Chain A
Amino acid sequence: MQRFLAKRAVSSAVSLILLVIAVFFLSRLTGDPTDLYLPVDASAEARENFRVLHGLDQPLIWQFLDYLRDLVRLDFGDSIRRARPALEVVTEAFAWTLQLALITMAIVSGAAITLGALAAFNLGGIFDRIATFFSLIGASAPDFWVAIVAITVFSVGLGWLPTSGTGTVWHWILPVSVLFIRPFGLILQVVRGSMITALGSPYVKTARAKGAGPRAVIFVHALRNAMLPVLTVIGDQAAALLNGAVVVETIFGFPGVGKLMIDSILQRDFSVVLAAIMVTAFAIFVMNILIDLAYAALDPRIRY
């Protein structure tokens, strides 16, 4: 178990380092922040001062080594735009995204697993039809469109919900609902397919021969067996949300890490971009470990 964790940590560290290198140099390709932050008519001296202040006067390779040296001390540098430590800016935004992702995935998983299991138990029945409908919506409705339509209908038209921001519970309803759609349709399909296999398995026959009713058969015997492929997809979808649901966060003015990343790229705020990428990468690493542990918890045949 510990060896497994250590192995995973090492392999993740390697990918993280490669990621830092790639993002560091790629972000520099977007141009010089000096041009963006200083007025067009700024003096050469002012430009020079700005460069020295942010270390942009050094050769790129020196900048990179400096960055790495600071990184070892968990210093991600300062945001040019906000004049605050980049890590602070990012963790603030990430906390919002994490909440959004957790709430959405909890609702999605609960709903998809329940509905998918019921759909598989009675193929062609009412639950199966609802499931098919949602899968189709999830696969075909683009979230930016749904988001805009939702704002138009519920905020502008009916005036029930706020259009953007995070103040109250009401602010969460639209973003969560829009983010809900795609993973719900996807996970629903996987649950349904996996449950059909599990319900047709010999051990379910044994359970029925023991006198188990439909509820025990579905939720006790089949579901736990059917969960492995479902977990994979849940992890996948959660990763997408943790990376920041850029479009949805932007539309709803949600101060999450996705919106922060887009803004920082446009603002050539390199430290923030790098910090944001590393924080989300770390979060995904932790989540993958949790998924692996969940595998082992669900299936006793899996041991690390």
Chain B
Amino acid sequence: MADPLLEIRDLSVTFDTARGPVHAVKHVSWSVGPGEVLAILGESGSGKSVSSSAVLDLIDMPPGRIDSGEILFEGRNILEMSKAERRRLNGRRIAMIFQDPLSHLNPVWTVGWQVEETMVLHGTPRAEAKAETLRLLAKVGIPDPAAAAEKYPHQFSGGQRQRLMIAMALALKPDVLIADEPTTALDVTVQAQILGLLEELQKETGMALVIITHDLGVVAEIAQRVVVMSKGEIVEAGSAAEVYRNPQHPYTRRLIAAAPGKGEIRAEAEPPAPVLSLQNVSKKYGAFTALHGISYQLGEGETLAIVGESGSGKSTTARLLLRLEEASGGRALYRGRDLFAMPPKELHAMRRDIQMVFQDPTQSLNPRMTVFQLISEGWAIHPGIVEKSRWKARVAELLREVGLSEEHMHRHPHQFSGGQRQRIAIARALALEPRIIVCDEAVSALDVQVQAQVIELLARLRASHGLSYIFIAHDLPVVRDFADRVLVMQGGRIVEQGSVQQIFEAPREAYTRALLAASLDPDPEVQARRRAARKREAGAAPPSAASAPAPSHRSAPASPAARPARCGRRNPAAAPPHPPAPPPPAHRRGRRPGTRSPAAPCRPRRGSAPRSPRSRPSATAPAASA
């Protein structure tokens, strides 16, 4: 590797808290060179974001302090620079994008203004910045840039917001882009698009890219090198492929072993007798139809996974089943009785049979109640399950069953970790001895190792209690390891349903295939093959096949007419000399239906004057990259 562009040497950051100093990172060193993609991999609390926050001077001091180390940018230690000098680097030479673009974009300014601001802050005249903004918005795939620039962040979808963040960060062609969990809250297909866009832009401008992530799949998809962090320290570093294939540190090994999607697929059994049967269930919110009359069955002891992206209606079915909301039509037969038409008294009795575990145990467990109160509450509501004199013993039993111990009984939820809280939520559901448990994204918010443990717990309980699960998830690999049957939903309709084996190995519908193709595998080699396959598939099939699911673009039709006018606006002769052309970027073909017209390929920012036709991001020029 050539001289690193950005190098962190022996950095230690401490936060002084009321409970004493917390060593967020300890003697961390990493570096990234031009054109390189480095991933910083770690679970929550590993300190993976701290060093890059230090690079951009985003650590509040106090309570934070930098105990040791230096941060070299082009060989100069930026920790010794003045505040003003560092501000001149931020946004211009080093830029950052964040997780959750909605809260990271200022809600009260138009997105156009916010993109302009990056340039104006560093001296570009406002008028010039305005024109450049429109070009940038087009470049990151925002349809109708002129209209979009006048809108506010809340008027965009999650994926589009992240594109806006990217436009904002790349406005001044920074040399280093740091992306902190850039795709974490996004749907899988949108995630694939955003990673594709980052990679494309990175190849084009030759900038260094640092991706901070908890997801081995993201590392496999985009990174050349990876550093693995645990408890504020780097435990392992190396090339992405090498670290995955041959992890040295026990922590890395555990992390890789915990990655879902590698286990045995559950053997297909005879279809069991249905315990729950939904018939033509629909739900309308005013003029908006969330569910268009769906029907499915849940078998006795079966695990039915419902997968889909945000807005697919997967959580709506759960809320309807538990009568947390009223269905607009249809029936849900449970033991021959219609749940939707049950009188209150019968409904009350039935509630104990169908329990729910929610995504975020921090919010779904009352913070003022002790674990004992939380678990035993159901017995007060449904008398006759457990004698009051036995409550204590039974709570202890349940806690042991979910892998906690009885001394946890008198603590409050905030005294537990996320995974432990989810165990409490499961114990609470189990307390009523239900027949069906609905898990709504129950493991989505958990770190991968904890996720694996909770899944294992759910599987064990399934075997010992004969439970049926409705397992709502967006994460396909988890579903693959755990479910019997899968139901794929999109836009309030069931697209496809079948056994896990059928769905994962022989998906029939294009949407299912697109979902599977977009989900990331932790193995860099598998991921490389998938990318190749995606390219081929997109080349062979009409572009809409792979990109239909992207919700970000359904609502905002592209206006190809707006594009050609701006293209070629910059004089190619004025472009700086370009480095040797990078290998062709791996485009997700057809990512943006209609937004890129083959007739008008926009020139890249660092105008690769004689641009390779292969890197032309055109949806209808597939053969070029093959």
A 203-214 binary contact with B (CB < 8 Å = 1; else 0): 101111111110
> B348 interface residue, CB < 8 Å from A?
no
Kindly list the 7 A-B residue pairs having the minimum CB-CB distance in the complex, ordered from nearest.
A211-B91, A211-B90, A210-B91, A203-B106, A202-B103, A209-B96, A300-B152
C-alpha spacing A301/B58, complex, angstroms: 28
A206-B96, A209-B95 given; 4 more Cβ-contact pairs under 8 Å: A205-B58, A206-B98, A211-B88, A211-B90
| Pairs across A and B, CB under 8 Å, 21 listed | A203-B103, A203-B105, A205-B98, A206-B98, A206-B104, A207-B106, A208-B90, A209-B56, A209-B90, A209-B91, A210-B90, A210-B95, A210-B118, A211-B122, A212-B87, A224-B109, A298-B108, A300-B107, A300-B110, A301-B107, A301-B152
A209 touches B58 (CB 8 A): yes
Indicate if the CB atoms of B106 and A225 lie closer than 8 Å. yes
Question: A221 contacts which of B87, B98, B106, B165 (Cβ < 8 Å)?
Answer: B106
User: B556 at interface (Cβ–Cβ under 8 A)?
Assistant: no
How near does chain A come to B359, taking the closest CB pair, in angstroms? Answer: 21
Are A224 and B118 closer than 8 Å at their CB atoms? no
Give per-residue flags for A262-304: 1 if the beta carbon is below 8 A from chain B beta carbons, else 0: 0000000000000000000000000000000000001111000
Query: Which A residues, 194 to 226, have Cβ-Cβ distances below 8 Å to chain B?
Result: 201-203, 205-213, 216, 221, 224-225
Cβ of B1 within 8 Å of any chain A Cβ, yes or no, is no
Q: Please state if B103 and A213 are interface contacts (CB–CB under 8 Å).
A: no
Q: In this complex, what residue of B is CB-closest to A214?
A: B83
Smallest Cβ-Cβ distance to B165: which chain A residue:
A206
Residues of B within 8 A of A224 (CB): 108-109
Partner of B107, one of A203, A209, A212, A216: A203
Task: Give min CB distance, B414 to chain A, whole Å.
Answer: 20
Tell me which residues across on chain A come within 8 A of B9, comparing CB atoms. none
Q: Which residues of A contact B87 (CB under 8 A)?
A: 211-213
Q: In the assembly, what is the distance between CA of A212 and CA of B84, in Å?
A: 10
Specify which chain B residues have a CB less than 8 angstroms from the CB of A209 in the assembled complex: 56, 58, 90-91, 95-96, 169
Task: Give Cα A201 to B105, complex, Å.
Answer: 10
Q: Are A211 and B118 in contact (CB under 8 A)?
A: yes
CA distance A298 to B106 in the complex (A): 12
Given contacts A299-B107, A301-B154, contact A212 B117 (CB under 8 A): yes
The listed residue (B103, B107, B117) touching A210 by CB distance below 8 A is B117
> Is B535 in the interface zone, CB < 8 Å from A?
no
Specify the chain B residue showing the minimal Cβ separation from A207.
B106
- Contact call B104/A208, Cβ cutoff below 8 A: no
**B57 on interface, CB distance cutoff 8 Å:** yes
Closest to A299 in B: B108
Say yes or no: B88 contacts A202, CB within 8 Å. no
How far in angstroms is the closest Cβ of chain B from A245?
A: 33
Is B496 positioned at the interface, with any CB of A under 8 Å from its CB? Answer: no
- The residue in chain A whose Cβ has the minimal distance to the Cβ of B57 is A208
A207 partner residues in chain B, CB cutoff 8 A: 106, 117
Q: Does B168 contact A (CB under 8 A)?
A: yes
Is the beta-carbon distance between A202 and B122 smaller than 8 angstroms?
no
Residue count of chain A within 8 Å CB distance of chain B? 20
Which residues of A lie under 8 Å from residue B98 when comparing CB positions?
Answer: 202, 205-206
Question: Which of B58, B88, B106, B109 contacts A208, CB < 8 Å?
Answer: B58
Once the chains bind, are B108 and A225 in contact (CB under 8 Å)? yes
Indicate if the CB atoms of A216 and B121 lie closer than 8 Å: yes
Please indicate the chain A residues that have their CB under 8 angstroms from the CB of B322 in the complex: none
Does B92 sit at the interface, judged by CB under 8 A? Answer: yes
Q: Which chain A residues lie closer than 8 Å to B117 at the CB level? A: 207, 210, 212
Q: Are B121 and A212 in contact (CB under 8 A)?
A: yes
Query: In the bound complex, what is the Cα–Cα distance between A298 and B109 (angstroms)?
Result: 9
Once the chains are docked, how many angstroms separate the CA of A202 from the CA of B99?
10
Contacts A216-B121, A299-B108, A301-B154 given: A211-B103 contact, CB under 8 Å?
no
Task: Point out the residues of chain B lying under 8 angstroms from A211, CB to CB.
Answer: 87-92, 118, 121-122
CB nearest to A203 among chain B residues: B106
Interface residue tally of chain B, by bracket? 20 to 34
Chain A residues within CB distance 8 Å of chain B: 201-203, 205-213, 216, 221, 224-225, 298-301
Choose among A205, A298, A299 the residue with the greatest number of B CB atoms under 10 Å from its CB: A205
Residue in chain A with minimal CB distance to B96: A209
CA distance A301 to B88 in the complex (A): 32
Complex-state Cα separation, A208 to B89, whole angstroms: 11
Residues of A within 8 A of B96 (CB): 206, 209
CA of A180 to CA of B574, assembled, Å: 60
Once the chains are docked, how many angstroms separate the CA of A304 from the CA of B117? 29
A202, A216, A221, A301 — most chain B CB neighbours (10 Å):
A202
Counting chain A CB atoms within 10 Å of each CB, the highest count among B56, B104, B108 belongs to B108
Chain A positions within 8 Å of B168 at CB level: 206, 210
Closest B residue to A208 by beta carbon equals: B58
Which A-chain residue is minimally distant from B117 (CB atoms)? A210
Complex contacts, B105 vs chain A, CB 8 Å: 203, 206
Q: How far is the CA of A193 from the CA of B87 in the complex (A)?
A: 27
A300 to B117, CA, bound (A): 18
Q: Is B10 an interface residue (CB 8 A)?
A: no
Q: What are the residues of chain A within 8 A of B88 when measuring CB–CB?
A: 211
**Contacts of B145-168 to chain A: CB distance below 8 A:** 152, 154, 165, 168
Q: Which residues of A contact B95 (CB under 8 A)?
A: 209-210
Residue of B nearest to A297 (CB): B108
* B100 CB–A CB distance under 8 Å: yes
Nearest CB on A from B181, distance (A) = 12
Q: A211 to B89, alpha carbons, bound, how many Å?
A: 7
For A199, the closest partner residue in chain B by CB is: B60
Interface of chain B residues 65 through 97 with chain A (CB within 8 A) = 84, 87-92, 95-96
Shortest distance between the CB of B41 and any CB in chain A (Å): 22
Q: Please measure, in the bound complex, the distance between the C-alpha atom of A216 and the C-alpha atom of B117, giving whole angstroms.
A: 10
Kindly state the separation between the CA atoms of A208 and B152 in the bound complex, as whole angstroms.
Answer: 20
Whole-angstrom CA separation of A208 from B98 in the bound complex: 13
Provide the bound-state CA to CA distance between A202 and B181, in Å. Answer: 14
Chain A residues contacting B91 (CB-CB under 8 Å) are 209-211
Complex Cα spacing A26 to B57, Å: 65
What separation, in Å, do the CA atoms of A210 and B109 have in the docked complex? 15
Q: How near does chain B come to A228, taking the closest CB pair, in angstroms?
A: 10
Whether the Cβ atoms of B84 and A213 lie closer than 8 Å is: yes
Instruction: For B56, list chain A residues within 8 Å (CB).
Output: 208-209
Query: CA separation between A224 and B118, bound complex, in Å?
Result: 19
Q: Are B104 and A205 in contact (CB under 8 A)?
A: yes
Interface residues in B534-592 by Cβ distance below 8 A to A read none
Which residues of B from 214 to 253 have beta carbons under 8 Å from A? Answer: none
A243: shortest Cβ distance to chain B, in Å? 32
Interface string of B355-378 (1 = CB under 8 A from A): 000000000000000000000000
Residue of B nearest to A222 (CB): B106
Q: Give Cα A21–Cα B56 distance, bound, in whole angstroms.
A: 64
A87 CB, nearest partner CB in chain B, Å: 42
Cross-interface CB contact of A202 among B84, B90, B100, cutoff 8 Å: B100
Bound Cα distance from A82 to B56, whole angstroms: 71
Cα A203 to Cα B107 in complex, Å, equals 8
Please measure, in the bound complex, the distance between the C-alpha atom of A225 and the C-alpha atom of B152, giving whole angstroms: 14
Assembled-state Cα–Cα distance A213/B83 (Å): 9
**Residues of chain B with a CB closer than 8 A to A205's CB:** 58, 98, 104
Residues in B whose Cβ lies below 8 Å from that of A213: 84, 87, 121
Rounded to whole angstroms, the CA-CA distance of A5 and B152 in the bound complex is 24
Contacts of B58 in A (CB 8 A): 205, 208-209
**Residue numbers in A under 8 Å from B84 (CB-CB):** 213
Nearest B residue (CB) for A216: B121
* Assembly CA distance A207 to B165 (angstroms): 11
| Complex contacts, A300 vs chain B, CB 8 Å | 107-108, 110, 152, 154
Q: Tell me if A206 and B152 are in contact (CB < 8 A).
A: no
Q: Which residues of B contact A216 (CB under 8 A)?
A: 121
- Which A residue sits closest to B171, measured CB to CB? A210
CA distance A203 to B100 in the complex (A): 10
